[in-house]
Structure 1
Amino acid sequence: MTTTTEIAEQAGTDAPGPAAVSGWTATRLVAEREIRTYVRMKGFWIGLVLVLIGIFAAAILPGVIGGGPTSIAVVGQAADALQEQAGFEVRTVADADAARELVRNEEVEAAVVPDAQGNPAGVRIIALSEPPMDVIAALTTAPPVDLLEQGDVSAGQRQLVIMVFALVFLMFGMGGLAIAQSTVTEKQTRIVEILVAAVPVRSLLAGKLLGHTVLALGQVVLFAAAAPIALRLGELDGLLTAITPALGWFVPFLVAGFVLLGSLWAIAGALVSRQEDLGSTTGSVTMLVMLPYFLVMFFSDDPLVMTVLSYVPFSASVAMPVRLFTGEAAAWEALLALAVVAATAAAVLLLASRIYAGSLLQTRGRVGLAQAWAGRN
C-alpha cells in the first residue's frame, strides 16, 4: 500500500511546512494512494465478484429453473381447446373482459377466449407483452394473439432491470462513505498533518474524489460490459436490445452522481475527528442516497413522478436511465438532466472544497459548518 510517508517523499518533503507540490501532481499522488489502498482490500474484490455473480444469476437462472406451470384464464368452452396433457394452471372466468383484466394485472400469464371472427382455432390468446409460446404450442391450431402492451420486454423483466439500476445506484452512492471514513481516520490518527505538509488540502480532496471516482467508473464499466454477456447467455435478446441504450447513459450519469455525493461524503468526514462521531454527519447524506432508491422503486410506474425525479440532481442518476430504458424519455432530456447533475456536482464540489479546507486540520471534536466555512480553529 502506498503510505503517507511515500506521498511526502514523492512530493519532495518529509517535514511539516508549506505543501511541496500543487495542482495535478498532488491530486494524482493522492488518487493513486486511494486506488491502491482499496484494490488491495479483500472486501473490495469479494463485493465485485458477488455483484458479477448476481448479474449472471439474474439473467440465467429464471430460464433454467422456470416458474412452474403457466397460469391461464379461460372463458367458457375455450378450455376445451387446450390439450389435457399440457399441465397448465387453468382459471375459469365469466367473460373476455374479466380475462383481459387478469392478464393486465399479471394475475395470470395469458388468457384463452372464444373468437367470434371464425379463425380455425376457434379461440384467441390474450397476453401482456409477449406471445406465450407454451400456450400456443398446446393448441392444435395456432390462434391469433392479442398483446395488451407492445414492447420488447415483459413486465417482470422491466421491473427486474429497474431494480438492478436502483441497486447499483444505491451501492455506488453508499460507496462514497469510504471517502468520509478515510478522511476521519486521517484526522483521528493525525496523519492528515503529514499529508497537508506534502500536498495542498484542496488537492487532497480532489485526489480522494478522483481515486474513488475511477474505482466507481471501473466497476460500472465492468458491470455494463458483463450485462450484455449475461443476457445473451440467458437468451434474453429482446431485453438486451432494450437495455443497451440505457446502459450507455447510465455510466456518465453514475459518474456525475458519484462526484456529487462524494463531495458531500467528504464534508461529512472532515467535520468530525473520530469514527464514533461520523454517524452524526453522514445521516443526511445517507438520506440523499436512500431516498432516490426508494422513490424510483415505488414510483417506477408513475410517469409524472419519474419525470420530476429525472431532473432532481440527487435522483436523476437513476431515474433518467430508467426512463430511457422504458422509452419514456428522449435523448435531449437525458442531455439536459446530465447537465443539471454535472452543474450541481461542480457547485457542490466548490462548496465542499471550502468546507473541507476549513475543517480538515481541526481535530478537537465536531466542527460546525459556519466554523468550517470561516476556517477558524
Structure 2
Amino acid sequence: MSQFDGDDIEPMDEQTYNRIGSQLGELGLLDWKSMYGGGYGRITALGVDVVEGDAPSPISITLNSNNTTSSNTPISGSHDVQLKEIKDIIQHLLGLKTRFHKSTSSGYFLNTEDQAAFGSIVVEVKTLLDETLAENSDFVRQLITTVNNGSGGFMGGPSLACVSEVEQLLRGAVRTIERRQQAKPLEFAPAATKPPYVDPARIAGLQSLQGQAWDYTKLIQLCGELNIASKHDCHYAVAMLVRAITDHVPPLFKMASFKQVVANYGGSKSFKDTMAHLDSGLRKIADSFLHEQIRQREIMPNAIQVNFSQYLDLLLAEVIRTNGIPGTPTGSV
C-alpha cells in the first residue's frame, strides 16, 4: 500500500494543514474533522484508490517517488479557464446592475430578456464553482440561498440587491480559488513497489508438481494468500501463513514436523542453518501473534518483523527440486 512520506513535505502551519485537509475532505478523499488550530482525519476508500492509481483523481496530486522538485500545480487543480470565466461573469453582473429600471411604486426591476440572462448566469456559475471548489461547497450553497431569497421581486425577476450579493459572492470565490492556486501541491510519495512475498516462479514450480504423489493445492493456495496479505500489509496474517506453510510441508521431506526437517534433513549446511533460523524466529513471532492476550498498550508489527521471504523461498525451492520429475522444468531454483 502506498504510504505518505512526511519527509518529502516542507513543514506547514496549522492553518494550511487544516485547509488542505478540508479541501480533500470536500472531495471525499479524506474523512476530515476540522477543529480549532488544525484538524484530524483518515483517508477514505476513494482516497486509497486515488493514491494507488485505481481511481481517477478529482484534483491534481503529484506522486513523487524520486524526490524531484514538485510542480506548481495547485492542490485543488489548475482552474485558470474557469477562473477567467467567473471573472468575466462578474463584469457581466456589473453591466447588468446598470440595466435595472426604476418603478415609482415597486422599486427596481429587469426586463424579461435580462431576467433570463441572469438565470442563465446562475446556472453557469454553479457549474463553474462545482468544478473549482467541489460540488455543494459553501459558495454554491450561499449562491442558491441568495438567488432564492432575492428573486420574486417586481415582475418576478431578481432584485438589485440579489445581483449585487451574487457579484460579491463571486468575488469571494475568486479570492478563494486564487489562494488555493498559490498553495503548494500536496504530495503523496508512494513506497517503492515491493516484490511479492512468494516469487510467482515458485508458485509456478509448485503447480508443475501437481498430479504426482502429493496434492499441492493447499500449499499453492497458502502461497497465494500470503502474497495478498503481504501486498496489503496484513502483517499478522503474513506471520501466521508462513507458519502454516512450514507446518504443512514436512511430509514432502519424509518428516513429521518442521523441527525434524531442521534437525534431520540431509540437505546442505547452509540450508539447515537457514531452516533453523526460519523455525526459531518465525515460530516465536507467530506464537506471540496467536497467543498473546490484550494489553494496555500495543505496538503493531511491521513488514520487517515478518519478513522471512528469503528463507521461505529457499524452502520452496527445495520442495520443488526434490519432488519434481527429472527433466521437467520447475522454474529457477
Greater fraction helix: 1
Give the number of the structure with larger relative contact order, counting CA–CA contacts within 8 Å between residues 6 or more apart.
1
Specify if TM > 0.5.
no
With the shorter chain as reference, the TM-score category is under 0.3
Query: In terms of Rg, which structure is larger?
Result: 2
TM-score, normalisation: structure 1: 0.20
TM-score, normalisation: structure 2: 0.22
